[in-house]
Structure 1
Amino acid sequence: MRRIAKSLIALSLLSVFNIAHTQSTPKAEISSIKPLIIDTDMGTDDWLAIAYIAQNQKIDLLGVTIVGNGIATCEYAGRNAQYLLSLSTRNKDKPIGCGSNWPMDGFASYPTPWRETSKDMMGEKIPSSTPSKIYPDGPTLLAELLRSSKRPVDILAIGSMTNIATVLSVEPELKEKITRIYSMGGAVKVNGNLRVPGFTDSHSNTKAEWNYYIDPIAAKIVFTSGVPITLVPLDATNKVPLTKDFITRLQREQQQPLEAFADRIFKNILQSTTNGEYYHWDPLTASVAANPEFCDQTQTYLLDIVTSTGTDQGLPNGQPSAAFPLTNAEGKKRNALNELSAGATLISNNGKKIDVCMHVNAPIFEKNFIETLRTTN
């Protein structure tokens, strides 16, 4: 990891954001408010999870770090995150950083059409006054947020875990500053979700979930780091689909800015999703991070991530393998990974103990999500 360390140290400047965390929260309330960092790939469901967290009075949002190998490129992902936070009075000035455009190894990427349509947030009218800027390096920002926090921090991981793995590889002592990572990812006892009608129908990997498929090496580093992890896999999210009834209950005349944003996005999703395969992936994980008791069925498994080499050159409609750097995160030749199971989560005696949320009460989640968006921020 020497190349990562060199890059991280070179970019590690406290002056990037001067985070000597100054929150005017009364002392009596501090213990009940959770400091949290969002690490995201800025996909559609990520926007909704961020809206929920930014509006949540139980959460002290320290900042947002974005994985550059996610749904949107750093330029657009950073701008969109900035726009989202601008809709929150408490969180409009929170720092945003964006990391590497590439996975630690392999050639996985999202379909190019997804990345293109994510740029304008499904037609969201982002004010022209929202400035475009160069965002700090994602791992650097994440490391500084952890260092500067007076209390251990939760991380909501709703994308590939490239930023988190980079920090834990370079500064493993920072794991002591992490209370728990809540990760939307994996498929423990169900099939993966890489086969999407109209986009990736013939994908040969039927075992992995997208977040871990994009960077299996990063997921494995985090799993083996010793940081407590609560996984919210497809096993749980498959049971909580987006419904018309949920959108109907979200309706009201006077809405908070982030509530109105979520209302527009949910409606757009329902109109644009014709295959009936949209679930509350990241919003569900965000709600578990804020309310762990919402998970009414938790199992602890020994889990491993498939990182073996193979012939996977990435998606035909994704970034071409020739566009990837020749070397991986360790400075060695970049490897193609297993075409049948890269990123899959396996129950294995060689795995690490991971707490897995297998089921969330859908009505409780939906009610809390709507009520949280309606709180005064």
Structure 2
Amino acid sequence: MIMAKPIILDMDPGIDDAAAIAVAVNHPDLDVKLITTVAGNVSVEKTTLNALKLLTFFDKAIPVAQGAKAPLKRPFEDAAYIHGESGMPGYDFDQPNRQAMSTNAVEAIHHVLQQADEPITIIGTGAYTNLAQLLTKHPEDKPQIKGFILMGGSISAGNVSSVAEFNVFTDPDAAKIVFDSGLPITMIGLDVTLKALITPETTQALLELGRPGKMLHGLITAYGDVHTGGKPMHDVNTILYAVNPNLIKTTPAAIDVVTDGPAIGATVSDFQHRWHPTDFYNANVGIDIDAANFNTWFLEQVSLMPH
């Protein structure tokens, strides 16, 4: 019998985070120990409320801890223009029947890591502020972190500037701390997520998949991140990688995070090793995915959710 993989989700729900939570908390191969929230797509108060609404929707007793209200050094700017004022428009959720922990995100993660019987994978799909604060305040936790699977970055082009992806751009100083941590990192950035578009056909098919399908149909329909061919469910790709890493093609890379100037938020791949030794790599970077397979897998996950 395969044991479920213990994970912590650090997120800023957000529509694509909501879809990622829906898949993760219902997947038999994942054991979600904790969900922590951060300011990103909308304020941290709203991302926390959204996480609690989703856990109420699926009736999952997973603890939620609220995290950073703002980046380490920069002013906070949300993405409500993409995710709506609430962060989760398109479906009328019940008010949550549970509350966030009184403990903040950093201390909650620290506690879970220290109590764990084995190292835990942390999946980050928002700004990495909480993760950077954890590494700074509790470096003793590093042996208990199996690795990070991060939605963020790009080694081609950005989505909030010519070179920067939103999660890294929101708090580049935090991203630099995480990428410089020496821990195993898989970066699932725009090079993958802008290929793995949820097609209009997939969105329509969700309506046939009971209550979870109708909920996700509503969210995806309301999602403002529109591309030719569909809409990217950026954060869902991290969950796919956690359970089926062979479905995303990766390559080792030496990644530097730019923290100032016109390229702020860029994740630069030093593929020519101009700045690092030829044997230095600090991340496994996603570079390709079969979009049709991704759509099929996503619908399969929703069909298995309790209706």
User: TM-score, with normalisation over the residues of structure 2?
Assistant: 0.89
Aligned to 1:311: none
Give the CA deviation at 1:239. Answer: 1.3
Structure 2 gaps, min length 5: none
Distance 1:124 1:135, change over 3 A: farther
Deviation, structure 1 residue 268: 2.9
Shift of 1:135: 5.1
Task: For residue 35 of structure 1, report the CA deviation from its aligned partner.
Answer: 0.6
Q: Is the 2:251–2:287 contact (alpha carbons within 8 Å) kept by the matching residues of 1?
A: yes
Tell me which residue corresponds to 1:234: 190
Match of 2:252 in 1: 300
Q: Does 1:88 align with 2:41?
A: no
Matched AA of 1:356:
V
2:35 paired residue number = 64
Matches within 5 A, 1:183-198: 183-188=150-155, 190-194=156-160
1:278 to 213, 221, 231: 231
- Residue 247 of structure 1 deviates from its aligned partner by 1.6
The answer to whether 1:106 aligns with 2:60 is: no
**C-alpha displacement of 1:214:** 0.6
The answer to whether the Cα contact below 8 Å between 1:230 and 1:357 also exists between their aligned partners in 2 is yes
Q: Counterparts of 1:6-85 in structure 2 under 5 Å? A: 28-30=1-3, 33-67=4-38, 69-85=39-55
Give the total of aligned pairs. 298
Distance 1:242-1:135 versus aligned 2 partners, 3 A rule? farther
Q: Mapping of 1:1-377 within 5 angstroms?
A: 28-30=1-3, 33-67=4-38, 69-89=39-59, 92-111=60-79, 113=81, 117-119=84-86, 121-128=88-95, 130=97, 136-188=103-155, 190-194=156-160, 205-252=161-208, 255=210, 257-269=211-223, 276=228, 278-295=231-248, 297-307=249-259, 337-338=260-261, 340-348=262-270, 349-350=275-276, 352-377=281-306
> Structure 1 vs Structure 2: percent identity of aligned residues?
28
Which residue of structure 2 lines up, in the alignment, with residue 332 of structure 1? none
Distance 2:256 2:245 in 1: 23
Shift of 1:173: 2.0
**CA deviation map 1:307-339 (0-9, x unaligned):** 2xxxxxxxxxxxxxxxxxxxxxxxxxxxxx32x
The alignment partner of 1:281 has SS state of coil
CA deviation map 1:41-72 (0-9, x unaligned)? 112111111111111111001110011x2122
For the residues of structure 2 that align with 1:112 and 1:360, how far apart are their CA atoms? 28
> Do the aligned residues in 2 keep the contact of 1:231 with 1:357 (CA within 8 Å)?
yes
What do you get for the CA RMSD once the two structures are aligned? Answer: 2.2
Aligned partner of 1:215: which letter? D
- Paired with 1:50 and 1:71, the residues of 2 have a C-alpha distance of 15
**Bigger Rg, structure 1 or 2:** 1
Cα distance in 1, alignment partners of residues 21 and 80 from structure 2: 23
1:225-284 alpha-carbon deviations (Å, 9 max, x no partner): 1110111111111212221122233342x52x4333212222333xx5666473121112
* Partner Cα distance (1:234, 1:44) in 2: 16
- In 1, the alpha carbon distance for the partners of 2:243 and 2:171 equals 26
Superposed CA offset, 1:115-169 (max 9, x none)? 7x24262142222464666753111111112112212111111011111111111
SS of corresponding position for 2:58: coil
Query: Contact 2:19/2:216 (CA < 8 Å) preserved in 1?
Result: yes
Counterpart residue type for residue 96 of structure 1:
V
Alpha-carbon distance in 2 for matches of 1:278, 1:88: 24
From the superposition, tell whether residues 273 and 305 of structure 1 become closer, same or farther in structure 2 (CA, over 3 Å): closer
Corresponding letter in the other structure for 1:45: D
